[in-house]
């Protein structure tokens, strides 16, 4: 007897389900330098491995879309790809973003179909054709999240850095090639980071354990930049300016300089941790 898949009335291509066999839908999002001070540009592209869904997209019976969400500004927006388009640039106003911006790719049915069935559908779940309506989701991916200003108290340093999850790295990784620093965390570490952000007393610890080593690495990059390739990047200009404003020098040890730029974060994070431990002991 064939079993009915418990989550959807029709097959949905997703990394979280096995509705499709030997198929995938992946959306990639990268921040790009913008020609405007009021917007941020993102390069968005997708790859689709599914004969049936690819056929539908190319013939206009399904559409690839990307939903943009910034919950704190209540911004909700959907961008659509043309049938033969697999990459595009999306501009977002900076005023529409606060702390977090999420991209989530999906494939949506454009026309009704009473005989929706493709060979890559998992035969253990789907034996008969399905009826789908316009607007039904046919594929969805896990999404990409960009964090802006991850710790509000330390905007001077953290506002030049995006903290994001990455499945390509199994440890902390810093990308200095963009206008903002991109700090990539393994998925599990990123999930812990998100949970701890809202915990009282954890912010200084997050700065010390996540932001601090990234700023040290960024300072090393500036100090070793013999060709001046970094001087026009926003993050580099900000570190140089903050160093000057605090009466410090880029020739100082990177470890010491980063600590001072972050307000003596080593001492303040340890003090904060000590207070948390003491409060737990009193309970």
DSSP string covering 32-73, please?
E--SSTTEEEEEEEEEEE-HHHHHHHHTTSEEEEEEEEEGGG
Give the number of other Cβ atoms within 10 Å of residue 96's Cβ: 16
Please tell me the distance from the alpha carbon of residue 280 to that of residue 276, in angstroms, as a whole number: 6
Q: Which whole-number Å values give the CA distances from 208 to 109, 244, 265, in the listed order? A: 47, 22, 6
In this predicted structure, what is the pLDDT of residue 206? 86
User: Which sequence spans correspond to the domains of the chain?
Assistant: 24-145, 149-282
Residues with Cβ within 8 Å of residue 157, at least 6 apart in sequence: 211, 215, 238, 239, 242, 261, 262
CB of 235 closer than 8 Å to CB of 160: yes
CB of 21 closer than 8 Å to CB of 13: no
pLDDT tens profile 46-100: 999 999 999 999 999 999 999 999 887 888 999 999 999 999 999 998 878 877 8
Tokens read off for 31: 């921040």
Q: Indicate the angle between helix axes 254-261 and 212-223, nearest 10 degrees.
A: 130
CB of 11 closer than 8 Å to CB of 126: yes
From the list 65, 66, 53, the residue with the least C-alpha distance to 113 is: 53
Query: Average pLDDT in the 100-111 region?
Result: 94
In this predicted structure, what is the pLDDT of residue 152? 36
Which residues make beta-bridge pairs with 163?
A: 147, 183
| Res 169 pLDDT > 90 | no
Phi, psi of 79 (to 5 degrees): -110, 135
Phi, psi of 277 (to 5 degrees): -65, -45
Please tell me the distance from the alpha carbon of residue 40 to that of residue 180, in angstroms, as a whole number: 11
Overall CATH class of domain 24-145: mainly beta
pLDDT tens profile 170-200: 888 899 988 889 999 998 888 888 888 777 6
From the list 60, 56, 49, 66, the residue with the least C-alpha distance to 106 is: 66
From the list 167, 186, 201, 50, the residue with the least C-alpha distance to 120 is: 50
Query: Average pLDDT in the 223-232 region?
Result: 84
In this predicted structure, what is the pLDDT of residue 155? 45
CA angle 242, 257, 221 (to 5 degrees): 85
Residue 282 pLDDT level (bands cut at 50, 70, 90): low
Give the number of other Cβ atoms within 10 Å of residue 197's Cβ: 17
């Amino acid at each position: 007897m064939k079993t009915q898949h418990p989550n959807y009335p029709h097959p949905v291509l997703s990394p979280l389900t096995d509705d499709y066999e030997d198929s995938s839908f992946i959306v990639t999002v990268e921040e790009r330098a913008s020609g405007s001070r009021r917007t941020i540009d993102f390069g968005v592209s997708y790859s689709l491995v599914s004969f049936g869904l690819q056929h539908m997209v190319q013939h206009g019976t399904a559409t690839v879309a990307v939903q943009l969400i910034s919950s704190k500004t209540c911004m909700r927006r959907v961008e659509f790809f043309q049938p033969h388009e697999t990459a595009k640039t999306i501009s977002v106003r900076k005023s529409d973003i606060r702390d977090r911006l999420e991209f989530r790719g999906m494939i949506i049915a454009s026309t009704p179909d009473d005989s929706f069935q493709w060979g890559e559908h998992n035969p253990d779940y789907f034996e008969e054709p399905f009826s789908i309506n316009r607007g039904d989701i046919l594929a969805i991916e896990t999404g990409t999240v960009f964090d802006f200003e991850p710790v509000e108290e330390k905007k001077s340093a953290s506002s030049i850095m995006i903290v994001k999850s990455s499945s390509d790295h199994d440890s902390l990784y810093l990308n200095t090639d963009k206008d903002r620093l991109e700090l990539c965390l393994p998925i599990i570490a990123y999930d812990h980071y998100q949970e701890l952000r809202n915990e009282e007393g954890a912010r200084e610890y997050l700065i010390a354990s996540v932001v601090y080593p990234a700023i040290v690495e960024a300072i090393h990059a500036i100090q070793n930049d013999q060709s001046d390739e970094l001087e026009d990047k926003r993050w580099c200009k900000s570190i140089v300016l903050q160093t000057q404003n605090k009466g410090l020098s880029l020739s100082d040890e990177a470890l010491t300089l980063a600590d001072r730029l972050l307000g003596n974060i080593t001492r303040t994070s340890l003090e904060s941790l000590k207070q948390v431990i003491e409060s737990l002991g009193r309970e």
